[in-house]
């Protein structure tokens, strides 16, 4: 029953956020005297900023949902320490950054050698617009990544795991459910692109389970998006990137190799530092399955 209360809060919150975004689009339409084009809604600095802030708002929504649905204070959603471990967040983000940089750089080089435009079609933008987009990406994409991780790997994993008494079963089901819905939330896509996003979600869930918090998953998500968006914006291919609906098997295989390296490397680093990953938050009023009982992994 508790999980259903949290689900209702999360669903209502998402609906309100989408309604707010629609109202904002309506206000912009009145100001400019027309409906914004699809490209403007995707790639203008203000639309990109609005989308990132909309997704960042999932952080307080996840806090509210886990508090209302499970009686857990919001700070326990971040980690077993009852808050974000900032040093670990920064340290554990180094490996994902290196892996993503190597992967994106390697794919870009292959595109150049093949005579392709590796990061998009080269749409013409003013220098000011490009600079503004880059500033938005660098300043707000980490917030967007945090919003998605708090919602999918934080609250949603709690909600799914709450239905199972066995911690291992709850953890596996939570990872599968959150990864599946995370992939679907990205819209129209072919099976290969969906598989890539699904596997990204599974990797993030493993990082949360292995480290006892959301920090590494947030860092992984943030550096992945920043490293992809920055060269794409510079090359003028942001619209193409955001409207992508397909992926090649080679791209998925490349990403999977990177995911494995990040997962194994993070596990080694966490073990080497003796990272605490098990705890039971105080004053828990509901059974959270794999989430809050001893040996749960979170």
Cα–Cα distance for residue pair 235/66, rounded to 1 Å: 41
What per-residue confidence (pLDDT) applies to 117? 61
Nearest alpha carbon to residue 182 among 205, 207, 208, 206: 205
> b vs e for 185-205, b when ≥16 Cβ sit within 10 Å of the residue's Cβ?
eeeebeeebbbbbbbbbbbbb
Q: Are 222 and 150 in contact (CB under 8 A)?
A: no
Q: What is the pLDDT of residue 106?
A: 85
pLDDT computed for residue 135 by the predictor: 96
What's the average pLDDT block by block, 10 residues per block, for the chain (298 residues)? 83 94 86 79 87 96 92 90 94 94 84 63 73 95 97 93 88 95 94 97 96 96 94 86 90 95 96 84 45 38
pLDDT score at 24: 86
pLDDT of residue 32: 81
pLDDT for the residue numbered 100? 93
Q: Locate all alpha helices (DSSP H) within the chain, ordered by sequence.
A: 2-32, 38-43, 45-56, 58-70, 86-92, 94-113, 127-148, 157-161, 167-184, 191-211, 215-234, 238-242, 249-272
Q: What SS3 state is found at 79?
A: strand
Q: Please list the residues that pair with 79 across neighbouring strands.
A: 213
pLDDT given at position 298:
36
pLDDT at 290: 37
Residue pair 196/247 in contact by the 8 Å Cβ criterion: yes
């Amino acid at each position: 029953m508790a999980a259903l209360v949290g689900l209702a809060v999360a669903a209502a919150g998402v609906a309100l956020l989408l309604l707010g975004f629609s109202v904002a689009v309506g206000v912009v339409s009145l100001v400019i005297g027309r409906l914004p084009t699809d490209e403007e809604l995707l790639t203008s600095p203000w639309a990109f900023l609005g989308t990132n802030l909309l997704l960042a708002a999932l952080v307080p929504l996840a806090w509210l949902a886990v508090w209302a649905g499970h009686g857990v204070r919001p700070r326990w959603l971040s980690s077993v320490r009852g808050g974000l471990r900032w040093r670990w967040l920064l340290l554990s983000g180094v490996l994902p950054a290196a892996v993503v940089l190597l992967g994106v750089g390697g794919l870009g080089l292959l595109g150049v050698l093949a005579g392709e435009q590796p990061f998009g079609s080269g749409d013409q933008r003013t220098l000011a617009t490009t600079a503004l987009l880059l500033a938005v990406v660098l300043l707000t994409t980490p917030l967007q990544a945090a919003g998605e991780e708090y919602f999918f790997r934080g609250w949603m994993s709690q909600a799914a795991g709450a239905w199972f008494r066995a911690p291992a079963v709850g953890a596996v089901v939570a990872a599968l459910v959150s990864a599946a819905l995370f992939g679907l939330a990205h819209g129209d896509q072919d099976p290969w692109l969906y598989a890539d996003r699904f596997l990204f979600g599974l990797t993030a869930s493993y990082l949360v389970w292995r480290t006892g918090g959301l920090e590494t998953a947030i860092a992984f998500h943030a550096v992945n998006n920043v490293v992809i968006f920055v060269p794409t914006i510079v090359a003028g291919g942001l619209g193409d990137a955001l409207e992508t609906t397909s992926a090649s098997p080679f791209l998925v295989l490349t990403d999977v190799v990177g995911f494995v390296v990040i997962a194994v490397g993070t596990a080694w680093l966490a073990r080497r530092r003796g990272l605490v990953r098990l705890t039971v938050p105080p004053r828990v009023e509901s059974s959270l399955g794999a989430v809050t009982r001893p040996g749960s992994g979170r």
